[in-house]
Structure 1
Amino acid sequence: MTWLDQVTAALGPGGALQQAQPGFQPRSAQLQLAQAVGQVLQEGGVLVAEAGTGVGKTYAYLLPVLLSAQRVILSTATRNLQDQLFTRDLPRLMKALGLSRRVALLKGRNSYLCTQRLSQARREAHHLDDQAWRQLAQVEHWAQGTRTGDLAELPELDDVSPLIPWITSTRDNCLGTRCAGWQACHVNEARRQALTADLVVVNHHLFFSDQQLRDAGVAELLPSRQAVIFDEAHRLNEIGVQFMGRQFSARSWRRLATELLDEGTRWARGFQPWPELASLMERQMRDFETWVAAAARRPEARLQWLGLSPEGLEATAWQQRLSGLQALLARVHQALTLTQEAAPELRRLAQRTDELRGVLTSLTQAGEGGGTVRWLETGRHTRLLEVPLHIAEHLQALMAAESSPAQREAELTPGLASPRPAWIFTSATLGLDEALSWFTQPCGLGDVAQVLRVGSPFDYARQAAWHVPEGLPEAQDPDHAWALSQWLLAPVRQLGGRTLVLATSLRALGELAKGLQEGLQGSGIEVLVQGQGSRRRLLERFRQGDGERPCVLVASGAFWEGVDVPGPALQMLVIDKLPFPVPDDPLVLARSAALKAQGRTPFQDFVLPETAMALKQGAGRLIRSEHDRGVLVLADERLLQRSYGARLLAALPAMPCLVDQAALMQALAALRSPEGRLTRSSTTDPTPCS
């Protein structure tokens, strides 16, 4: 029996998975996907596969990988899925199959404790607040026993904690072999394990950052791998463009100033005026940001940058300001060059200063045009950015570059499955047409990829329904979010919490949270709000909301995807309005302009597909298992009033419509019944409401 036959047998009735996991049910869609993955692993090439929610795509690609015994890189969009694959899915699957494979987890530097930075933090991190100081004590205690140094072992440490930059390293401040803790470094140990592993689990951010910087890590792994699999591939283009461009930020400038003062006075006190230089850097950046904010006439904005200066900023004055920053960087670099032999820390700072000068110099020159876009961000941290419109060119170059080593290894190694590497891209949402062009076109895969669409096995017509509230202010009205919060009070009470509210903006999130908190006060239903606790803690609490602790979760951004709450804890999903792309976003404007130049219609060919995919992704949070029941509330009447509404609804699974609020309340009451089922009397056929 070949390993491809073993894949089929393991997923079939009475197979290894059903024997090991009593609740496992063979699914034809899962088998179809697994066979397609196995075929590409054996023959090489490119597979783009959309697998609807509930197909079981994780096992569908892990099973062929494990049985083929190939060396593979597996990349995810989120660290949450990384951890799930490494700690749960892979061990469970290997046990069921009776296999032993070397598996490694590799994250970016900011996910691992740096013992050198930790030793400095207590004496130098004087800017931390009381909570961060308490967390520092917890980290110091944990550091004595951890084997991996992975900060995910500390659930109480939020991803956005101000402590993290003080206890982790970056490529900029890592001392490399000159560090006293180099041999015991957690990052180095993770990379050593990855280099010898059969399967390495990384994330898209690490994958692209290493490819761009050619830092040690993923870039070293690729030539020895026979396959690369991207799960959550719908995020690939969005993440990739961040690392394929250049940026200069006020945050990196200030971090350099802080370390200049700390390391200069520590290693070369008296040799250079370190306090004066650091103070001058802070003052010059503050003056620059003040001028930019005043010239832009907006405290927070993304300003297009088509010519020599961003929109609204006078070109000569802009160039003079940038020249001033360059001159100061040159002075700092000279001071560091004269003292860098005193310590590795100063030598590394000199290199960083030179790199920052190079980025700033490139951004003062005329833009490349064509496939790139520039803009200036103002607000909490000013940033100057230049990125490509899409990753197609970069991804194609990467795939071509990595083909030759893989082919040579296959030719020299007997028994390898394919002389060509396999590239597999999968997600629950990759497109609206059979060609999955929403994904394949910006990634440059349209002409080279085998495309597969496998539908969800869930019976949405029986398990779910949707409703559009009537009488709310228009979605663009500033009062819409508050009005929606008041409208939601009755449905939330009827259901007893069990509601996830997804907002399309932080402003709407704040209004919805305030309105629900005030309106549900004294009801016994707790309102959880994104930002008031770590994402992990909020989801843990939300999952407990089907018992004696009912709750509502109001969230935005990161909660639109990767949220998996099966069961009765989530039975109503509310989307505040259609998630159209921000119209003045420079990337949106540039991509729209590129389509116009091709004679295409930006709204039809870009805006609507982007909106449909975001809507599909958000709506996918509702039904997560065959036993789930729920209602999707889409609080935007444009779905019913505008001609494009039907196209957006077509992107969602076919489910019946609750025609009015009475039908909605009846459905919610039915969900609270012991059977927890939607009643057919309250719904129409699974076609759009008119």
Structure 2
Amino acid sequence: MPTLSEVFSGTGLLAESINGFKPRQAQTDMAKAVARAINQSHSVIIEAGTGTGKTFAYLAPVLLAKGKAIISTGTKNLQEQLYHRDLPVIKKALASNRKTALLKGRANYLCTHRLGQHGGNSTLVESDVLNELSIVRTWANTTKTGDVGEIKTLPEDARVLPLVTSTVDNCLGRDCPDYEDCYLVKARKKAMDADIVVVNHHLFFADMALKDTGFGELIPDAECIVFDEAHQIPDIASEYFGEAVSTRQIQDISKEITLLYRTVLKDAEQLEKAGEKMRMQAADLRLLFADKPAKGNWVEHLEREEVRTQMSRLEDAVGVVYDVCKLHIGRDKDLDNLFDRIVQVREKLALFTTDQHDGMSLWYETTPRHIVLHMTPLSIAAKFRRFVESEERGWVFTSATLVVNNEFTHFQRRMGLESAKTLMLDSPFDYAKQALLCVPRYLPEPHQPAMRQSLVEVSQRLVKASNGRCFLLFTSHKAMQEVAAALQDKISNPILVQGSTSKQALLTQYLADPEAVLLGTGAFWEGVDVRGDDLVCVLIDKLPFAAPDDPLLQARLEDCKKNGGNPFGSIQIPQAVITLKQGAGRLIRDPEDVGVLVICDNRLVTKPYAQTFLGSLPPMKRTRDLAEVESFLVKTQHRQSDKKKTKS
């Protein structure tokens, strides 16, 4: 078996099989740290700067080790990239025959039982979904994996997908007549038999929290668990360690009752009427909140008499469905499953009629049609610490953005990982030569109305100097839309705005048009890898402090204050630093890249905490002069033009 030095050296296995591979000391150091964590069954937290090659740095020791490993990534896209692109390359280089598997959440797999339920009942499906249902049926005849991501003609948010996939709630498990042919069961069996399983954070924590049948058996067998993009974990884990109930769940139960009434339980008219009454009471609860989607403190709204009254009516309506459904138990497997879900909804609704929940934040969020009630723990540190310490295994947490002020303290406290080993590895890129950081002079304060016009003017100058090739990143949808609208009349470049189509489609359009400009919010601050001449300028509208009206953040700030802490310094600043680092990380992705990062926020110059932000960014040359930025971008354009002439 080769040593890690032999794998990563200039004449090693990776150099032999990958064109242009160059050894990086930071990559070798990280691989050795991962190997120690696996061999000694301890936890290690690694910040690996952009360009370190962290994916191969953890894949090599995982492939060379003997036990089972789970690798968890931030998103499904990264999961697929890791499994289909990176893993085959390094497996081939190491001549490894270890078995690998890709496992997604259940909502990604066709449920043949639910597809069959919609066989001859087109009256229950909206007309615009019928065409999508036809596409799914055609694909279902040929698919081997049942992964609905294979259907490229359907949008990611196609309305048909919830009808033909299962949830933890409505899955019949072993009672399902299609259990033997279930695509989810097959995917999980393959994962059980594999040496290395690639999952994503949502799946990992959903199954950890729910102890869902099948995947829950994977974790105890794993001798190593690697979290890539680990900076996302605290928020995702919090979501799954809490409780939630939504009017959408209630609506779905009502729809399924109607489906059963029209197919196999035609004498259960009373149940169908009770289900419809429950659906209407849930819809009436949503009507008590503003039309525009929002988040808020649930306890405060529970003090409103009309909300308390409507919650009581909804609970009564669910109780009636419970009583009537109970009369029909044993007649149909799907109905028995519905009864279990009604029991759960009843129990969860009861949680939200009292405000006595220590250590929890009760909050709500509304969508155009629904309301979701959340109960989220203010801290998951103790729970996650117990989980990590419950078994002897190696734990690896890695990301390009974990450190604040040269310390891992913020991440360690949030995850209960105070005793974990840490390693900080700088990017191999020469930022002083490759990049310029500008905080423009004479800007209004971020909250002042004049700031919007300044953003438009700065954006216009940057787009002109770089002839497109810009990402304009915003901390709010409103700011993004206003700047996009104003730029329409001021620049001739194609303007691509987040939300107009899918993230992947926007990126494809951006890369296809050499003069395009892309405007985005949160989705484009991370997980986007645009290299070379295609991106030479990133503008960030202001420091990305979380919205002060976010109810969960408010609860955490109050809890910190109550315990004698400094909420601004220990919660708000570290989170904003990590988000800023993510946005800034879009700029330089390759040793040959050059570009400008422009942050339009005076606070980076005027506030005492500015140094915490600046000290966490890569060591770029700094300026406050936009003219210097324009000159840099024009020179970059000339260099690109000269390169193209030389090539032709």
Pair in the same fold by TM > 0.5:
yes
In the comparison of the two structures, how many residue pairs are matched?
641
Does the C-alpha gap of structure 1 residues 361 and 621 become closer, same or farther in structure 2, counting only changes over 3 Å?
same
How far off its partner does 1:674 sit? 2.8
Greater Cα shift, 596-605 or 501-510:
596-605
How far off its partner does 1:292 sit? 4.3
| Residue 398 in structure 1 maps to residue 391 in structure 2 | no
Is contact 2:433–2:620 with CA below 8 Å preserved after alignment?
A: yes
Question: Paired residue for 1:593?
Answer: 558
1:193 maps to which of 190, 195, 198: 190
Question: Paired residue for 1:657?
Answer: 622
Question: Paired residue for 1:537?
Answer: 505
Does the C-alpha gap of structure 1 residues 665 and 230 become closer, same or farther in structure 2, counting only changes over 3 Å?
same
Question: Paired residue for 2:494?
Answer: 526
CA displacement 1:87-113 (0-9 Å, x = unmatched): 011111111111111001111011112
TM-score, scaled relative to structure 1 = 0.89
How far off its partner does 1:235 sit? 0.6
**Aligned-partner SS, 2:496:** strand
Question: Paired residue for 2:531?
Answer: 566
2:151 maps to which of 150, 154, 160: 154
**Aligned-partner SS, 1:674:** helix
CA displacement 1:541-566 (0-9 Å, x = unmatched): 222344xxx21111112221111111
Is contact 1:155–1:536 with CA below 8 Å preserved after alignment?
A: no
Question: Paired residue for 1:439?
Answer: 411
Question: Paired residue for 1:108?
Answer: 105
CA distance in 1, matches of 2:181, 2:372: 35
How far off its partner does 1:303 sit? 2.7
CA distance in 2, matches of 1:151, 1:304: 36
Question: Paired residue for 2:637?
Answer: 672
CA distance in 1, matches of 2:484, 2:317: 45
Question: Paired residue for 1:681?
Answer: none
2:365 maps to which of 372, 377, 384: 377
| Residue 42 in structure 1 maps to residue 7 in structure 2 | no
Greater Cα shift, 617-626 or 586-595:
586-595
How far off its partner does 1:501 sit? 1.5
Is contact 2:533–2:640 with CA below 8 Å preserved after alignment?
A: no
CA displacement 1:125-161 (0-9 Å, x = unmatched): 855564x554444333322222112222234433323
Question: Paired residue for 1:340?
Answer: 329
Is contact 2:271–2:325 with CA below 8 Å preserved after alignment?
A: no
CA distance in 2, matches of 1:566, 1:129: 43
Is contact 1:435–1:451 with CA below 8 Å preserved after alignment?
A: no
Is contact 2:49–2:425 with CA below 8 Å preserved after alignment?
A: yes
CA distance in 2, matches of 1:126, 1:653: 56
Question: Paired residue for 1:480?
Answer: 451
CA distance in 1, matches of 2:561, 2:525: 30
CA displacement 1:573-603 (0-9 Å, x = unmatched): 1111111111121221222122223322211
Question: Paired residue for 1:302?
Answer: 295
1:184-583 maps to which residues of 2 (within 5 A)? 184-293=181-290, 299-305=292-298, 310-314=299-303, 317-369=306-358, 371-380=359-368, 381-401=370-390, 403=391, 420-446=392-418, 448-478=419-449, 480-481=451-452, 483-520=454-491, 523=492, 525-546=493-514, 550-583=515-548
1:67-78 maps to which residues of 2 (within 5 A)? 67-78=64-75
Is contact 1:560–1:621 with CA below 8 Å preserved after alignment?
A: yes
Is contact 1:639–1:649 with CA below 8 Å preserved after alignment?
A: yes
Is contact 2:302–2:308 with CA below 8 Å preserved after alignment?
A: no
Greater Cα shift, 110-119 or 207-216:
110-119
CA distance in 2, matches of 1:312, 1:388: 19
1:176-187 maps to which residues of 2 (within 5 A)? 176-187=173-184
Greater Cα shift, 79-88 or 467-476:
467-476
CA distance in 2, matches of 1:647, 1:94: 41
CA distance in 1, matches of 2:591, 2:171: 48
How far off its partner does 1:124 sit? 4.5
Greater Cα shift, 635-644 or 387-396:
635-644
CA distance in 1, matches of 2:14, 2:455: 46
How far off its partner does 1:262 sit? 1.7
| Residue 10 in structure 1 maps to residue 7 in structure 2 | yes
Identity of aligned residues (%): 38
**Aligned-partner SS, 1:469:** coil
Is contact 1:272–1:335 with CA below 8 Å preserved after alignment?
A: no
Is contact 1:438–1:609 with CA below 8 Å preserved after alignment?
A: yes
Give the AA of the match of 2:508: E
Question: Paired residue for 1:632?
Answer: 597
Does the C-alpha gap of structure 1 residues 639 and 133 become closer, same or farther in structure 2, counting only changes over 3 Å?
farther
How far off its partner does 1:178 sit? 3.0
Does the C-alpha gap of structure 1 residues 127 and 484 become closer, same or farther in structure 2, counting only changes over 3 Å?
farther
Give the AA of the match of 2:33: A
Does the C-alpha gap of structure 1 residues 292 and 74 become closer, same or farther in structure 2, counting only changes over 3 Å?
same
CA distance in 2, matches of 1:280, 1:70: 54
Is contact 1:210–1:217 with CA below 8 Å preserved after alignment?
A: no
Question: Paired residue for 1:413?
Answer: none
What are structure 2's unaligned runs of at least 5 residues? 643-648
Question: Paired residue for 2:90?
Answer: 93
Does the C-alpha gap of structure 1 residues 495 and 442 become closer, same or farther in structure 2, counting only changes over 3 Å?
same
Greater Cα shift, 623-632 or 341-350:
341-350
Give the AA of the match of 1:526: P
Is contact 1:629–1:671 with CA below 8 Å preserved after alignment?
A: yes
1:647 maps to which of 612, 616, 623: 612
CA distance in 1, matches of 2:445, 2:259: 53
Greater Cα shift, 144-153 or 567-576:
144-153
**Aligned-partner SS, 2:71:** strand
What are structure 1's unaligned runs of at least 5 residues? 404-419, 678-690
CA distance in 2, matches of 1:251, 1:125: 20
Is contact 1:367–1:374 with CA below 8 Å preserved after alignment?
A: no
How far off its partner does 1:617 sit? 0.9
Give the AA of the match of 2:504: R
Give the AA of the match of 1:66: L
